[in-house]
Amino acid sequence: MKKILLSLIVAVMVLLPMSVNAEGKVKVYIFEAGGCPYCEAEIEYLESLDSYGEKFEIVRKELYVDHVEWEEGKDYALGVQVAETFLQAGFEDASYEGTPFVVISDLYAAAAYSQNLEEVIDTAYKQGDKDVVGCIAAGKSNCLEGTVTPTVSPSDEKTKDSDVITLVILGVVVVGIAALVFFTRRANKEEARLDRIFAMDDDAVTVKKEAKKTEVEVEETQKATKKTVSKKSAAKTKKPATKRKNK
């Protein structure tokens, strides 16, 4: 009899969490500002999930009356307390200064628009919703007790991967630009050097032409001078004919 009772107790203890998880819906809190387009887009995304109404429900909280003047809403004090509680637990994106501020159990708290929350909701549903916001609203303490590090949402992982890819692409672009600048400068220097060489060659050719021209002029002058000297010499050496007188 004792063995049967013990077996029943063990079975109940094993099945109890499963029944609680299956029946209890996860509360997805949306701390919003009136007229905030990102808040409405976040809610539309959540309502489009197949698990909406079955695994989770949306609880809207008025963090700000509007998203223009940012007048504090009726749930502002709660939003501040929730954000500070999650920040102390290591959730770096938890903030009451931006909307939508989304909180899911003890797994997710971020002031950012995201369309990758289904996996977080499924995890909270399987583990059982801790309802940290409800705990804080009830004035209880240690509502995040036992939470060591925040669960990284799929969107965060994708963001990190995209950041790495972006950095790699930027690195390649920077290296490519640097290489282009280097080779362009090198080509310009080589072109300038060749221009100087060609200019020197042109100057040398010009000098040679001028020298040749001068040489020809000198030769022509020398020839002309020689002709003139020869004529004068011939004129000097030639004696006029004389007649002998008869005595």
Last residue of a domain, one of 149, 172, 187: 149
Residue ranges for the chain with pLDDT beneath 70: 1-23, 146-166, 198, 200-205, 207, 227-247
- For position 146, what pLDDT does the model report? 65
* CB neighbours of residue 237 within 10 Å: 7
User: How many domains does one find in the chain?
Assistant: 2
- For position 147, what pLDDT does the model report? 57
Residue 99: which of 34, 158, 27 has the closest Cα? 34
- For position 7, what pLDDT does the model report? 56
- For position 233, what pLDDT does the model report? 62
End-to-end CA, the chain: 199
Taken as a whole, the chain contains a residue count of 247
- For position 60, what pLDDT does the model report? 97
Angle formed by the axes of helices 118-127 and 2-23, nearest 10°:
150
Task: Give the integer Cα–Cα distance in Å for 219 and 139.
Answer: 119
Same domain flag for 90 and 173: no
The model's pTM is: 0.54
10 Å CB burial of residue 209 (0-12, 13-18, 19+) is exposed
Same domain flag for 108 and 208: no
Three-state secondary structure call for residue 42? helix
For 144, phi and psi rounded to 5 degrees? -110, 20
- For position 122, what pLDDT does the model report? 97
Task: Give the integer Cα–Cα distance in Å for 44 and 64.
Answer: 19
Task: Give the integer Cα–Cα distance in Å for 25 and 126.
Answer: 10
Give the structural domain span for 131: 22-149
Same domain flag for 159 and 214: yes
Task: Give the integer Cα–Cα distance in Å for 38 and 40.
Answer: 5
CATH number of the domain that residue 40 is part of: 3.40.30.10
Asked if 30 and 59 touch (Cβ cutoff 8 Å), the reply is: yes
Three-state secondary structure call for residue 240? coil
Q: Does 14 map to a domain?
A: no
